[in-house]
Amino acid sequence: MTQATLRILFVCMGNICRSPAAHCVFQHLLDQAELSDKLIIDSAGTHGYHVGSPPDARMQSVLRKAGVSVIGSSRQLVREDFYRFDRIFCMDEDNLRFAQGIQPDDGTASLERFADCIADPQINHVPDPYYGDEGFETVLAMVTRGCRNLLEQCQQSLGRS
């Protein structure tokens, strides 16, 4: 097995909707592109409300309808993640501010907005579908678009297209 060259972490509040959707979709895309051995991906939440829980059942449903396998369980973002990962993508400004608050000065990970991967000036965050502000299908479409664009970035940095 080839050693992974990129390590990516997706972050939302509870790690049961948005960030696990990105984790699942990105893993699905990596598998299709035969790049799973080149990247390590995971997801985490800024809060520990759901530690150990699988993704929200509603998100699982839309993922499965899209043909994406559901993987992972909720965990909380920790300082060590800034050493273990190269890039940490936050789903909204609250998550970004929380992550900045625990980011160590000597951490090696870049802290980024996932919305920048979506590449639409009208979208500055991925809304939390948990309370129904946006539907899970809408959020999955946003996450999928962002993950596709991120995959292209990763392929370029790995020298593959």
- Annotated catalytic residue, options 7, 81, 128, 154: 128
Q: Confirm whether 83 is domain-assigned.
A: yes
Q: Confirm whether 1 is domain-assigned.
A: no
- Distance, in Å, from the CA atom of 111 to the CA atom of 131, rounded to the nearest integer, reads 26
Q: Confirm whether 141 is domain-assigned.
A: yes
Say which CATH number the domain at 84 has. 3.40.50.2300
Q: Confirm whether 27 is domain-assigned.
A: yes
Q: Confirm whether 124 is domain-assigned.
A: yes
- The pLDDT assigned to 4 comes to 63
Question: Would you call 128 a catalytic residue per the annotation?
Answer: yes
**Residue bearing tokens 């990129």:** 6
- Annotated catalytic residue, options 7, 17, 18, 117: 18
Q: Confirm whether 104 is domain-assigned.
A: yes
Strand partners, 111: 88
- The pLDDT assigned to 1 comes to 39
Structure tokens at 24: 């699942």
Domain hosting 153: range is 6-158
Question: Would you call 18 a catalytic residue per the annotation?
Answer: yes
Q: Please give the model's pTM, rounded to 2 decimal places.
A: 0.94
CA angle 52, 58, 61 (to 5 degrees): 100
Q: Confirm whether 137 is domain-assigned.
A: yes
Q: What is the pLDDT of residues 5-46, one digit of tens each?
A: 899 999 999 999 999 999 999 999 999 999 999 999 999 999
Q: Confirm whether 112 is domain-assigned.
A: yes
Give me the number of domains the chain comprises.
Answer: 1
β strands within the chain, DSSP E: 6-12, 39-45, 87-90, 110-113
- Distance, in Å, from the CA atom of 124 to the CA atom of 31, rounded to the nearest integer, reads 28
- Distance, in Å, from the CA atom of 123 to the CA atom of 33, rounded to the nearest integer, reads 27
Question: Would you call 12 a catalytic residue per the annotation?
Answer: yes
Compute, in degrees rounded to 10, the torsion defined by CA atoms 94, 5, 154, 83: 10
**Residue bearing tokens 């909204």:** 92
- Annotated catalytic residue, options 7, 12, 81, 147: 12
Work out whether strand 6-12 and strand 87-90 pair parallel, antiparallel, or are unpaired.
parallel
Under-70 pLDDT residues of the chain: 1-4, 133-134, 160-161
